Chain A
């Protein structure tokens, strides 16, 4: 299955606006984050477990136990600061 991962704000600056990933098996947002952390030093620095990172699945805030379906749009970003 193929998914799109989007990044915003400081994560976008570190990792680019988006990447497309091919996954062999269904996974969760948390497992995907761990896989990305393992994929490069830049990912490890930006998404590392010591950092405040929020996730969305198909444009809704989601927690890391959420399962990702084929074609999903996942996003990782820092805590929001609007208003």
Chain B
């Protein structure tokens, strides 16, 4: 099973978790995060969201993040799926799942991977409102600060 998938298709969290921990009886903890499309963003209604990526670089960047998670935390497995293309409110966008022997490392590694992904993986979101207006989503300084908590400098949202 690949560690990283960038795909248009939806995903099944339960099936992914089952596959991730299959055959590893030293796993005692599984954490996961799923990000979904909100119906509103910064006070504006969202009808659709289109996600673009940099084929090749995106997958390599996430692979490198997973390597760093393995270096930092005592984890046994990790899986990241990120969707691209046109999505709608309620749709799943991203999934991170981590297995470890104990819960602390699994919780931390899952959050670390999401914080990393938000500011370092080449994806771009474009929102369309119900009246057809489209706009590229702005990067958030708060996401850089989230990664900084792990001791990693991030200036993605800097001017």
Do A83 and B60 touch across chains, with their CB atoms under 8 A apart? no
Do A56 and B122 touch across chains, with their CB atoms under 8 A apart? yes
Do A59 and B60 touch across chains, with their CB atoms under 8 A apart? yes
Do B93 and A83 touch across chains, with their CB atoms under 8 A apart? yes
Do B123 and A81 touch across chains, with their CB atoms under 8 A apart? yes
Q: Which residues of A contact B159 (CB under 8 A)?
A: 52
Q: Which residues of B contact A52 (CB under 8 A)?
A: 139, 157-159
Bound CA span A52–B114, Å: 23
A-B pair count, CB < 8 Å, reads 79
Interface size, B (range): 20 to 34
Bound CA span A10–B136, Å: 7
Do B158 and A82 touch across chains, with their CB atoms under 8 A apart? no
Tell me the residues in window 109-148 of chain B with beta carbons closer than 8 Å to chain A beta carbons.
Answer: 114, 117-126, 136-139, 143
B6 smallest CB distance to A (angstroms): 10
Q: Which residue of B lies closest to A59 (CB)?
A: B57
Interface SS, B side: mixed
Q: Which residue of A lies closest to B156 (CB)?
A: A79
Bound CA span A55–B46, Å: 29
B48 smallest CB distance to A (angstroms): 15
Q: Which residues of B contact A77 (CB under 8 A)?
A: 54, 122, 124
Kindly identify which residue among B35, B60, B93, B119 contacts A80, using a CB–CB cutoff of 8 Å. Answer: B119
Q: Which residue of A lies closest to B115 (CB)?
A: A83
Kindly identify which residue among B56, B61, B157 contacts A79, using a CB–CB cutoff of 8 Å. Answer: B157
Q: Which residues of B contact A9 (CB under 8 A)?
A: 52, 124, 126, 136
Whether B98 sits at the interface, judged by CB under 8 Å, is no
Do B157 and A83 touch across chains, with their CB atoms under 8 A apart? no
Most B-side CB within 10 Å, residue of A54, A77, A81: A81
- Identify 20 new A-B residue pairs, CB closer than 8 A, beyond the known A78-B124, A80-B120: A8-B52, A8-B54, A9-B52, A9-B124, A9-B136, A10-B124, A12-B52, A52-B159, A56-B57, A59-B57, A61-B61, A77-B54, A79-B158, A80-B121, A80-B122, A80-B123, A81-B139, A82-B53, A83-B82, A83-B118
